[in-house]
Amino acid sequence: MQLDTDKIAQQCLDAIADKIKNLKTLNIVVIGKSGVGKSTLINSLFRGNVAETGLGRPVTQEIRKIEKKDYPLAIYDTPGFELSQDQQKKVKDEVLKLIDQGLRSQDINQAIHCIWYCINVGANRTFDSSEVAWLREFTESTKSTKVPVIVVLTQGVPKSKALEMKGLVEQENLQISKVIPVLAQDMAFDEEYVARAYGLDQLVDVLSEVLPGDLQDTLQNLQKVSLEAKKKQAQAAVATAVAAAFGEGFVPLPFADAAMLIPTQVSMIAAITVIFGLDMNKSFLTAFVSSTIGAGGATVLGRAVVGNLFKLIPGVGTTVGGVISGTTAGLITTALGQAYILLMELIYKGELRKEDLYTKEGKTRMTNLFKEQLSFTKKLPR
């Protein structure tokens, strides 16, 4: 069987574009006094420097919406929150109105998904009592809407003080999801001492816990701080594809129709790409496809190769009557998914450039990586 690698690469590109277009928009309200580090937090957590794109558009008197074309995130900023009590009351009422509007729209793209209340660790000796009072009133009102409120302790240095404040906020027994201390960017005190950024990966994990399933791909696509979280979500995409491939493998068609696995695998590649939030092009995807499932033109999906790979495992390589078994289909899909995740990881970390895959050496390396994954998955307990 000869795979049309060029066509498959194009299908991958189309599937990626389609998935990106269909990502649900994540809507976050960010509240906190001026200078606490809201913009820095947003720009450090999410790709694309969204908080730098101006002041945003006023949606109510006190709330501005920051969004970018073709970008699945909207930030509702609340400038001037510190100005007066009257101002803070207005912010509260307007955020509640916004939540209510979102709920009534019954559209996930319009709903408010999360609220961050930011408190600066550095500037506060203790947790300011007026902020406690505001937060208590606010969370009492949002309780019935079930919109999660996360308290983010920004500029969290020294760490010991950040942890102390975390304890103080927690003691208040507010209706909040979590208190997370962070330092969004390294902070230099002098040439000797630089406090290292921390906590953003934890914020991603908490977001992942509180956000609905439909926003998990969006979250991973946007966030740029936790490789672990991306890998976890990518593994879920592989599991979904493997389950589908397993079923497809049981359809009794001639073995040449192992190509019927391709749509499932294309969709898996697209899902993983979107989770990593990386830009892909056709040359890269063609190189990936040809050096894995299309290796050497003969393709490892070919009957002989699969037979050779799996004949040592009882019950796996039995391509009886030229039918690919569900297990074999699952194994190939797993190996392909794992190889692609490894590849995305290398590119994400800057350890590999896309162009590296265009060379003969690059392709050979990829082929070996895929074969390695095939032999790993072979050893998995069944």
Cβ 332 vs Cβ 260: under 8 Å: no
Interacting residue with ligand GTP among 2, 4, 14, 34 (CB under 6 A): 34
Is residue 190 packed enough to be buried (19+ CB in 10 Å), middle (13-18) or exposed (0-12)? exposed
The string of DSSP codes covering 164-212 is HHHHHHHHT--S-SEEEE-B-S-EESSSS-EEPPBSHHHHHHHHHHHS-
Q: Which stretch binds ligand GTP (CB under 6 A): 183-191, 204-212, 225-233, 308-316?
A: 183-191
Dihedral pair phi/psi, residue 220, rounded to 5°? -70, -35
- Number of neighbouring beta carbons within 10 Å of residue 26: 23
How far is 354 from 370, CA to CA, in rounded Å?
A: 17
3 state SS of 285: helix
List the helix and strand counts (H, then E) for the chain: 13, 9
Minimum CB distance to ligand GTP smaller for 81 or for 310: 81
Query: Does residue 185 interact with ligand GTP by CB under 6 A?
Result: yes
Closest contact distance (angstroms) between CB of 35 and Mg ion is 8
Give the residue, chosen from 59, 83, 187, 243, that forms a contact with ligand GTP under the rule CB under 6 A. Answer: 187
Q: Is 200 in the site for ligand GTP (CB under 6 A)?
A: no
Is residue 65 helix, strand or coil?
Answer: strand
Instruction: Tell me how far, at minimum, the Cβ of 28 lies from ligand GTP, in Å.
Output: 14
Candidate ranges 128-136, 161-169, 177-185, 267-275; the one touching ligand GTP (CB under 6 A): 177-185
Return the number of the residue (154 or 291) whose C-beta is nearest Mg ion: 154
Find the shortest distance in angstroms from Cβ 30 to ligand GTP.
8
Residue 38 lies near ligand GTP (rule: CB under 6 A) = yes
Of the candidate residues 5, 27, 39, 264, the single one contacting Mg ion (CB under 5 A): 39
The span from the CA of 86 to the CA of 264, in Å, is 56
- Shortest distance, CB of residue 147 to ligand GTP, whole angstroms? 21
Among Mg ion, ligand GTP, none, what does residue 155 contact (CB within 5–8 Å per kind)? ligand GTP
Chain residues that interact with ligand GTP, rule: CB under 6 A:
32, 34-40, 79, 154-155, 183-185, 187
